[in-house]
Structure 1
Amino acid sequence: MNILMHTVYYAPEIGGLESHVHFLCRALAARGHTVRVVTSASLPGLPSLETVDGVNIRRTWLPARNTGGWAAHAIGSLPSFIEWAREADILHAQDIAAVLPCLVARGTSETPIVTTYHTSHFLRRADSRFWRPVFRGFLRAADHNLAASREIAGVGEAIAPGVHVEPLTNGVDTETFRHTPSPDSNQGAGRPFRLIAPRRLFEKNGVEYFVRALPLIAEHADVEALIVGDGPERDRLEVLARELGVSECARFLGARPHAEMPGLLSSCDLAVFPSLMEATSVAALEAMACELPVAATNVGGLPEIVDADVGGLCEPADPASLARLITRLLTSGLLLDLGAEARRRVVSQWSNERLTDRHEQIYAELLFERARQN
């Protein structure tokens, strides 16, 4: 098959959407499909055209990382996308801004369109007088709709009654993300428990409440916290850590290359996801694949992957609730058992192989139906 994807961000960008699309495309290419991606020139120095891991990538202008910038990128990418779409068997829109280019590129042809809705941007705009009818049109125009969580799928079906939206949990490359012992490992007597929050520093990711929980956790356990990610909240969160007296144990590492994450995760004891809004967290699945238990908030798609067998859930925006959960897990003596179950569960249910299998099946069914109708 010749598969053409549109996504506003792609590797080496770091994030759940970026990771999902990158590993899916790489796996599809490894299975012999022609895979092309039109995305944005979102980082300085990236080539406009290259092939990585068998995936052909074309990058076009992105004026800003906001709604206006994403819309401008979608429109500006049309010439490149339309050119590649002429040879495509499948057009796949990865999130909201990618749907319009797919619809325009399809034009009057019969090329099937698949859409995947990933992020909280969809949930935030679902009740908007402007966006709700736009989303309804997008959902009805696609041949198959996917959502990264049951919550997003339910909202999509409420927007467009009669349209099926399939919830499909994101996948993890379980060969890349696995426990990797390192000299920086936190295991050993007398060492503090190491917590990791692999979160971009935006308000919706709730890192503020993790920082506020640290003094409460420190009353019961010796801990250090690695906060891996960057964003507009960083300066404020570093000031907050100093005000709360936890700046020595809270280390803000900034964004780290994807290749470093298995080692960083493997050096820790517990992963923390204090989100206020979430789809299915790829970062949480990556942590679980590295045999880390997970402490997460009971929001969005997180309850679909986290329970008492792999960690636990707490209330969002509640530092005391988060501190109680983390303290209970750290003092349970079960961290290794929980981490082992987390890895087993990801391999059995949420591996990238299973995700790729399902995408191949969807694409093949759509192409069969198109051939049957012709």
Structure 2
Amino acid sequence: MKILQIYELPPHDNAGTGGIEVAIMETSRELVALGHEVTILTGAKSIPQEQIVDGVRIVSVDFYRLMKKTWDGTNLSLVRQALFPLAVLFNHPGTYDIYHGHIYSSGLIANYLARRSGSVAVNTIHGSYYPIWSKLANPFAAKFYRTGERILAPALANMSDIQLHTGDYFAQQVLAWGASQQKVKTIHNGADIIRFNPSHTQIVNSSQATAQHIGIDYSIPVILTARRLVKKNGIEYLIKAMQLVLRKKQCQLIIIGEGEERAALKQLTHELDLQDHVHFLGLIPHEKLPPYLALADIAVIPSLMEASSIFMLEAMAMEKPVIATKAGGLPEVLTPSVGILVESMDEIGLADAILELLQNEDKRLQLGRRARKHIQANYSWKAVAKQMEAEYMKLLERKKENT
């Protein structure tokens, strides 16, 4: 098969790569390994270019430098989404068997290109903030985004040959809005179980060097999270929980990521007098994350809303005990037997869960071992790519039968 993946942000950015970009790149790698030809079409960060990474062809495009001007390494802006179709159409993509667009704008482009060439259109929705928009934006903006999602999501599902979701919570919502049952399917994200492997001696050795490099005491328990620093990821509640934890147990929090909330979060850290216990590391390239995860005693995902967090899956693959909120699709992956779930926006519940694991090494180790086995059995990127391949082939066969 010839497959075109379409998304506004590039998947191979050393300054830091988001979850959607990681998902696209990892599934593309595995689809290439399965014998398919995969191209990723994306908006340019600077100069439009073409490169081959692990057999995946990556093409970045622009239109009168609009993609360069709307580049933001930590956020996909509404303006960039609106302008990206111009860049794609101006550069005349070739003919493919599968046009796979991610989120809304690229989903519409995929449908247009597929119709023009008589091919298959696939759309993936990587979660939704629909239930919490009122907590993230002013009333006018919240209503705008909620209305937009309510219209676009089911419309794209019915328009596409299939709409994939990385969290079943929103797939069910789209079905409730009127999408066809046959057009909606959930395929959760995955993890690279080879690279994120606690048995790799190189990772263990690198983690000790990493601890020295970032200036932390390797002997003090480490709580770690890697998130964009935006409201929906709930980092403020984790910082508040740290104040409660430190009253009973010595530990330190490492925060990896960048975003618009960084200044406010650092201010909160100072207000709570936690600056000696909370370390903001900024953006870390995705391929360099394993040694940092190896440092962690506990991984935390304090999100207000999430689909199937890739960081959570990678932490589980690294045999780390995970604490996550009961938000969106997180409980779909982190069952009670492999992790701990708490309510979102509840720093007390979060602190209690952290203390429970800090004070019980046996439970930490047991949850970590179960977590890795769970990922190995169900959520490797190879398994995800095979599910996707099966859907592609089914749709192509159906297309042939109808022509």
Class of the TM-score when normalised by the shorter of the 2 chains: over 0.9
* Deviations, residues 65-114 of structure 1 (Å, cap 9, x unaligned): 4112211113322233x422x2x011111222211211221234421111
Which of the numbers 341, 354, 361 marks the counterpart of 2:370? 341
SS at match of 1:276: coil
SS at match of 1:107: helix
Aligned to 1:4: 4
* Deviations, residues 300-321 of structure 1 (Å, cap 9, x unaligned): 0111122332220111111111
* Deviations, residues 200-234 of structure 1 (Å, cap 9, x unaligned): 10010000011111110112211011100000111
Aligned to 2:107: 99
Task: Please identify, of 174-183 and 20-29, the stretch whose mean Cα deviation from structure 2 is larger.
Answer: 174-183
Percent of paired sites with the same residue: 31
Asked if the contact 1:140–1:163 (Cα under 8 Å) also holds between the matched residues in 2, the reply is no
* Deviations, residues 278-300 of structure 1 (Å, cap 9, x unaligned): 11111100111111111111110
Task: Please identify, of 100-109 and 244-253, the stretch whose mean Cα deviation from structure 2 is larger.
Answer: 100-109
Task: Write 1 or 2 for the structure with the bigger share of helix.
Answer: 2
SS at match of 1:26: helix
The reply on whether 1:220 has 2:248 as its aligned counterpart is: yes
Aligned to 1:83: 93
The reply on whether 1:34 has 2:37 as its aligned counterpart is: yes
Q: Distance in 1 between matches of 2:130 and 2:102?
A: 12
Asked if the contact 1:75–1:101 (Cα under 8 Å) also holds between the matched residues in 2, the reply is no
Q: Distance in 2 between matches of 1:294 and 1:349?
A: 17
* Deviations, residues 128-157 of structure 1 (Å, cap 9, x unaligned): 344423333211111111101111111111
Aligned to 2:265: 237
Q: Distance in 1 between matches of 2:104 and 2:235?
A: 25
Alignment of 1:279-298 (within 5 A): 279-298=307-326
Alignment of 1:270-309 (within 5 A): 270-309=298-337
Moved over 6 A (4+): none
Alignment of 1:317-336 (within 5 A): 317-333=345-361, 334-336=363-365
Q: Distance in 1 between matches of 2:336 and 2:149?
A: 37
Q: Distance in 1 between matches of 2:124 and 2:179?
A: 18
Asked if the contact 2:98–2:114 (Cα under 8 Å) also holds between the matched residues in 1, the reply is no
- Structure 1 stretches of 5 or more lacking a match? none
SS at match of 1:154: helix
Change in Cα spacing, 1:56 to 1:262, as seen in structure 2 (3 Å) is: same
Asked if the contact 2:245–2:355 (Cα under 8 Å) also holds between the matched residues in 1, the reply is yes
Change in Cα spacing, 1:166 to 1:107, as seen in structure 2 (3 Å) is: closer
Aligned to 1:211: 239
Which of the numbers 353, 356, 365 marks the counterpart of 2:394? 365
Aligned to 1:181: 204
SS at match of 2:204: coil
* Deviations, residues 300-350 of structure 1 (Å, cap 9, x unaligned): 011112233222011111111110111111112221221111111001010
Q: Distance in 2 between matches of 1:239 and 1:162?
A: 47
Alignment of 1:136-155 (within 5 A): 136-155=154-173
Aligned to 2:59: 58
Q: Distance in 2 between matches of 1:127 and 1:225?
A: 33
Aligned to 1:18: 21
Asked if the contact 1:204–1:276 (Cα under 8 Å) also holds between the matched residues in 2, the reply is yes
**TM-score of the superposed pair, with normalisation by structure 1:** 0.93
Asked if the contact 2:223–2:254 (Cα under 8 Å) also holds between the matched residues in 1, the reply is yes
Change in Cα spacing, 1:371 to 1:190, as seen in structure 2 (3 Å) is: closer
Asked if the contact 1:139–1:160 (Cα under 8 Å) also holds between the matched residues in 2, the reply is no
The reply on whether 1:171 has 2:190 as its aligned counterpart is: yes
Aligned to 1:158: 176
Q: Distance in 2 between matches of 1:290 and 1:74?
A: 38
Change in Cα spacing, 1:77 to 1:330, as seen in structure 2 (3 Å) is: same
Q: Which amino acid aligns with 1:150?
A: D
**TM-score of the superposed pair, with normalisation by structure 2:** 0.86
Asked if the contact 1:207–1:274 (Cα under 8 Å) also holds between the matched residues in 2, the reply is yes
- Structure 2 stretches of 5 or more lacking a match? 71-75, 134-142, 212-216
SS at match of 2:229: coil
- Count of aligned positions: 367
SS at match of 1:77: helix
